[in-house]
Copies of this chain bind each other. A is one copy, B any other.
Amino acid sequence: MDTNVFTLGHDGHGRMSGDKRREQILQTAFDLFSHRGFSGTTTKDIAKAAGVSEAMVFKHFASKDELYGALIEAKTCHEGLKKYPWEENEGVIAAMEAKDDFGVFYHFALKALNKHQEDIAFMRMIFYSALEGHEIAERFFQSFVGEIYNFLGGYIKARQKDKAFRKVEPRIVVRAFMGMLIHHSLNNILWDKKRTLLDIPNEEAAKNFAEIILRGVAVQEG
Instruction: Please list the residues of chain A having a beta carbon within 8 angstroms of any beta carbon in chain B.
Output: 36-40, 124, 127-128, 130-132, 138, 141-142, 145-146, 149, 168-169, 171-173, 175-176, 178-184, 187, 190-192, 196-198, 200, 204-205, 208-209, 211-218, 220-221
Give chain B nearest CB distance to A166 CB in angstroms.
8
Task: Give the chain B neighbours of A217 by CB distance below 8 A.
Answer: 212, 215
**B216 engages A211 (CB within 8 Å):** yes
**A37 engages B132 (CB within 8 Å):** yes
**A180 engages B191 (CB within 8 Å):** no
**A184 engages B175 (CB within 8 Å):** yes
Copies in the complex: 2
Q: What are 29 of the A-B contact pairs (CB < 8 Å)? A: A37-B37, A37-B131, A40-B132, A127-B131, A131-B131, A142-B196, A149-B197, A149-B198, A168-B208, A168-B211, A169-B208, A171-B197, A171-B198, A172-B198, A172-B205, A172-B208, A175-B198, A176-B212, A179-B180, A179-B182, A179-B184, A182-B183, A183-B183, A212-B212, A212-B213, A215-B216, A215-B217, A216-B216, A220-B221
Give chain B nearest CB distance to A41 CB in angstroms.
9
Task: Give the chain B neighbours of A149 by CB distance below 8 A.
Answer: 197-198
